[in-house]
Structure 1
Amino acid sequence: MSNNLLKGKRGIIFGALNEKSIAWKVAERAVEEGAKITLSNTPVAVRMGAVKALANKLNCEVVSADATNVADLENVFRKSIDVLGGKIDFILHAIGMSPNVRRRKTYDDLDYNMLDKTLDISAISFHKMIQSAKKLDAINKNGSIIALSYVAAQRTFYGYNDMADAKALLESIARSFGYIYGRESSVRINTISQSPTITTAGEGVKGMDKLYDFANRMSPLGNASAEECADYCIVMFSDLTRKVTMQNLFHDGGFSNVGMSLRAMATYERGLDEYRDENGKIIYG
């Protein structure tokens, strides 16, 4: 149901790949709430993914860009302003990828060239995006910029690997740039720390299915879905949150504040007698 929360606003959604993507859901909800948008992803993702189908559905344009390339980002802003008929009101950064995770490299055996790529793609691209927009004066006063994060920025989660470092940097960028952009142009910058979500990117994390189940058992409200995350993003893009900036906002059903839930404790107790090591060998405790 539409409440016209974004009526008359213009936005750019980075990172929509397919129907599993949170960015895909955000794009759909933004248009439903009255916004005009452009979509952006890498040329390969646009060519191999379903982004064009989403663009056709929403009657919007796709502007291909490598988010680690400043010239590409500047082109996205210039073309979006031209296509949408004015400066931008909101941006979603839903970009993350770790070559180390994809190659199953453990945290104590990282390839540092791949670590550089992880940080550039998943976090520094956020800085490049904001800096490009600011230099071009591409965002309206009271605009809103959101990036998607995860609680692994604060806590250790087995298998999340160097993406945890990237998310920590991402949140730091939101605070540092949020102060500057807020003071000078009233543009607010926040991160949303989402529940484990079964997306194409998320499926690359080792043990994602188990992590998803664990978080769901721990959270009093259960895991937040991609659709629910989209709803939260819409509120953050709207004028209802004009004074919210430099925050990491947990959207995880309460997981981030729970020590041990009743369901998780019961599961833990049942598994005390025996468990398996990483090679599948049963170990009795």
Structure 2
Amino acid sequence: MGNNLLKGKRGIIFGALNPDSIAWKVAERAYEEGATLTLTNTPVALRMGETKALAEKLNTKVIGADATNVDDLKKLFTESIEFLGGKIDFVLHSIGMSPNVRKERHYSDLDYNYLDKTLDVSAISFHKILQTARKLDAINEWGSVVALSYVAAQRTFFGYNDMADAKSLLESIARSFGYIYGREKRVRVNTISQSPTMTTAGSGVKGFDRLLDFAERMSPLGNASGDECADYCITLFSDLTRKVTMQNLFNDGGFSNMGMSLRALQQYEKGLYTDESTGKRSKDHSWD
């Protein structure tokens, strides 16, 4: 049941591939809260995913666009404004992809052509979206633009690879463009650093299941789900957060402020003193 937090607002959602996608959940929540919106993804993603089914559910349309292509973005904003009947109030950037991760290239042995693709798709596309919207004057005053990030922008995580570089750049773009857009048009630009979430993109990271477990044990409140991330996005799209901009906001159950939790320590200790050949503990080293 919605509370009409977005009643009368218009939005564009990038990256709703299937029901596991955070963008999919955000689109559903925005619609529940009274918004009208358009959905967009690359043509290949639209062929592989289920975005058209979501569009039917939300009584809207899908506009194919490559977020790295400025001409596509111009068409997207223009068609969205025409279809929705006015300028845009909120945008979600939920886009990320690394060929180096997919090809299991070690961070110390990156393919630089792949790296260029990672940065363009996962971060520079955010700048292109913002720049295109500003030049077209496509976003209303007090509008809100949100991109999804991850704590690997600040801390090193094994296996996250060049996506960490992309997330760092993404957050920098939010700050730099947030100043310009805020000063000129009162448009807010923020990133949400979400808990590891089992999406199509996330599952491509090596050892992701173990990362999920580790984050769950480390976080006082546990991992934030995709649905909970969608709720947070709605607050940032709403008028309740008019003075929040240029921020990287953690929605991770407290993980980002933890050093070591008891649950994580106990699991580590259990593994440390277990005989791998027998599966039994060699001796009791419990700290309880």
Determine helix, strand or coil for the equivalent of 1:11: strand
Cα distance change, pair 126–204 in 1 and its aligned pair in 2 (3 A) = same
What is the alpha-carbon distance in structure 2 between the residues aligned to residue 53 and residue 45 of structure 1? 13
Alignment of 1:100-249 (within 5 A): 100-249=100-249
> Which amino acid in structure 1 is aligned with residue 80 of structure 2?
S
Determine helix, strand or coil for the equivalent of 1:61: coil
Residue 274 of structure 1: how far off its partner (Å): 5.0
2:63 corresponding residue in structure 1 = 63
Q: Once the two structures are superposed, what CA deviation does each residue of 1:144-190 show, in whole Å capped at 9, x if it has no partner?
A: 00000000000000000000000000000000000000000000000
Alignment of 1:64-83 (within 5 A): 64-83=64-83
Residue 273 of structure 1: how far off its partner (Å): 2.5
What is the alpha-carbon distance in structure 1 between the residues aligned to residue 97 and residue 275 of structure 2? 32
Q: Once the two structures are superposed, what CA deviation does each residue of 1:202-254 show, in whole Å capped at 9, x if it has no partner?
A: 00000000000000000000000000000000000000000000000000000
Determine helix, strand or coil for the equivalent of 2:26: helix
Cα distance change, pair 275–135 in 1 and its aligned pair in 2 (3 A) = farther
State TM-score, norm by structure 2: 0.95
State TM-score, norm by structure 1: 0.96
Determine helix, strand or coil for the equivalent of 2:206: coil
State the Cα RMSD in Å.
Answer: 1.0
Residue 47 of structure 1: how far off its partner (Å): 1.5
The count of residues paired between Structure 1 and Structure 2 equals: 277
Cα distance change, pair 139–221 in 1 and its aligned pair in 2 (3 A) = same
> Which amino acid in structure 2 is aligned with residue 26 of structure 1?
V
Determine helix, strand or coil for the equivalent of 1:39: strand
What is the alpha-carbon distance in structure 2 between the residues aligned to residue 142 and residue 66 of structure 1? 26
What is the alpha-carbon distance in structure 1 between the residues aligned to residue 166 and residue 275 of structure 2? 32
Q: 2:265 aligned with 1:269, yes or no?
A: no
Determine helix, strand or coil for the equivalent of 2:272: coil
Determine helix, strand or coil for the equivalent of 1:143: strand
Structure 2 alignment gaps of length 5 or more: 277-281, 283-288
Determine helix, strand or coil for the equivalent of 1:23: helix
> Which amino acid in structure 2 is aligned with residue 209 of structure 1?
D
Residue 269 of structure 1: how far off its partner (Å): 1.1
What is the alpha-carbon distance in structure 1 between the residues aligned to residue 135 and residue 2 of structure 2? 34
1:281 corresponding residue in structure 2 = none
Structure 1 alignment gaps of length 5 or more: 277-283
2:285 corresponding residue in structure 1 = none
Q: Once the two structures are superposed, what CA deviation does each residue of 1:98-157 show, in whole Å capped at 9, x if it has no partner?
A: 000000111011000000000000000000000000000000000000000000000000
User: Once superposed, which parts of structure 1, at least 4 consecutive aligned residues long, lie more than 3 Å away?
Assistant: none
2:7 corresponding residue in structure 1 = 7
